[in-house]
Structure 1
Amino acid sequence: MCKLHIMLQVLDSLLAPLARLMVARGVAFPDLAERLKVHYVAAAARSGAKTDSRISVITGLQRRDIARLRAEPPREERPNHLATLIARWQTDRAYVGQPIPKSGPAPSFEALANDIRRDIHPRTMLDTLEAAGTVTVEQDHITLAQTSYQPLAGSEDQIAYLAHNLGDHMAAATDNVTGHTPPHFERAVHYEGLTAAQIALLQADHREAQMQVFERLSAKAAAMKVLPSGEATHRFRAGAYFYPTDAAQQDAQE
């Protein structure tokens, strides 16, 4: 089987869910194709191609498109201020995950929110967190109901989470396939022939175990950030997923 045929099979697995997402979010194919051109050019440049002509040979794109795309300014990352707020609430010594007053000087939700973003009203942040079930509000005090901010389904914050999580997972997997040393940790377990009830038990076990790992990593990382360092330019993302499906229904849909 030729390499191109294998890579086309890979594309089918990757692009099928991406196409569902783009259609669901109203992104037309020409817009997707334009963004894909940008990353083809960047990948070719990263591989060592320095001229537009060389990038054209590698990517198959026309030189006028390459020149235009290379001249575009990079898009700015949109930080998730609510996730940052919850992380600070859990790790900052003034808060340490405890219930806090709604307003007033620190430690209060108002003071914490203003520390994170002064251009967004604390009430707006609070309403979003309450709607997502991340916090509970009782009179003048606010309590953390979850250890992390889980955005509402379909919200812009959830889409941003998807982009960062899948982007880093794909980057790690691509590094491993292309020979990155040392390889990134990437493992998965897969079984067929189970009942829906058995899947539910396994899913609950997976969720509990992963949350313990995430909370431990978060606590350690927060403690490390307290120590000043001139080399603190690195970041990490650790993730996990559990995807159950009915194979019979999936086969019928395909």
Structure 2
Amino acid sequence: MQIFDALFAPIARLLVARGLPFPDLVERMKLHYVQAALTQAGDRATDSRVSVMTGLQRRDVVRLRGEDVKDRRPNHLARLVALWQTGAGWSRDGAALPLVRSGPGQSFEALAQAVRRDVHPRTMLDTLLAAGTVALSADGQQVLLTQTSYQPLAGSDDQLAYLSRNLGDHAQAAADNVQGRTPPHFERSVHYSGLTETQINVLSKRFAEAEMALFQELSQTAARMKEENTEAGTQRFRAGGYFYRTGETD
């Protein structure tokens, strides 16, 4: 189990910081253990077999095997920002157009309603303004996109949802590779120690600029591909990157 400490440690620090009691984590992990065993066992997934594979009691298996562990809540603000940069009428050459706040046609109100009708456009605008994703013109009549993606406020539910999805897909890609997936997912990193703070700052800036350029290109290409589809697609992807710095040498 010690080999997984590098995974457990940051999760434990986050859960303690959020005030999540350990028994709640245990109960949730039981569900994931059952779902993992059901997937691996396939047609042979009897309650007894799942109990043996997971070490859980049969009554827990019976209670949990029908529950769903997937989070299907879409992030409407992230979709709004993406549509604004790629959708016909909302953008030009991959750049988001300034939008009037309300009214028919090319307005923020119309864009918001195109994404989700059960959330008031003013609520979406206020959240994006608070996060610094958009800004208002001097006269307050136009909405300007100031960031290429929606970055939720620190500690918000939206930010935690992002963490869960991004870290979850990254972990799944790495786990698939460890288990011999063919072809493997692309999953690489580069790491050095013994550098100065100034050198790390230079590398961090270069990494961020290169990653953002690539992400924008991928987003625009994927949006164009989706518009060209003649049939409903069933595949999804997530491409991410991270740059972690610390004074520790490990």
TM-score surpassing 0.5?
yes
- Give 1:10 shift: 2.7
CA contact (8 A) 2:32 2:69 kept: no
Q: Given the alignment, which residue of 52, 55, 59 partners 1:57?
A: 52
Instruction: Single out whichever of 218-227 and 42-51 deviates more from structure 2.
Output: 42-51
Tell me what 1:127 maps to: 126
CA distance in 2, matches of 1:98, 1:76: 32
CA 1:9/1:76 → structure 2, altered by over 3 Å: closer, same or farther?
Answer: closer
Tell me what 2:80 maps to: 85
- Give 1:163 shift: 0.4
- Give 1:229 shift: 3.2
User: Amino acid of the residue matched to residue 69 of structure 1?
Assistant: L
User: Amino acid of the residue matched to residue 61 of structure 2?
Assistant: I
- Give 1:25 shift: 1.1
CA contact (8 A) 2:153 2:159 kept: yes
1:29 aligned to 2:37? no
1:72 aligned to 2:67? yes
SS of the equivalent of 2:73 reads coil
User: Amino acid of the residue matched to residue 192 of structure 2?
Assistant: Y
- Structure 1 gaps, min length 5: 1-7
SS of the equivalent of 1:243 reads coil
- Measured against aligned partners, the alpha-carbon deviations of 1:45-87 in whole angstroms (never above 9, x if no partner) come to 1112410100111110000000000133555521100000000
Structure 1 ranges of 4+ moved more than 4 A: 73-76
SS of the equivalent of 1:72 reads coil
CA distance in 1, matches of 2:75, 2:232: 24
Tell me what 2:223 maps to: 222
- The equivalences for 1:1-254 within 5 A come to 8-48=1-41, 49-74=44-69, 76-96=71-91, 97-138=96-137, 139-247=140-248
- Which of 1 and 2 has higher RCO (CA within 8 Å, sep 6+)? 2
CA distance in 2, matches of 1:74, 1:241: 26
**Scaled by the length of structure 1, what TM-score is found?**
0.92
CA contact (8 A) 2:34 2:61 kept: yes
**Scaled by the length of structure 2, what TM-score is found?**
0.94
- Give 1:231 shift: 4.9
Q: What do you get for the CA RMSD once the two structures are aligned?
A: 1.3
CA distance in 1, matches of 2:174, 2:143: 40
CA distance in 2, matches of 1:190, 1:73: 37
Kindly tell me the number of residue pairs found equivalent between the two proteins.
242
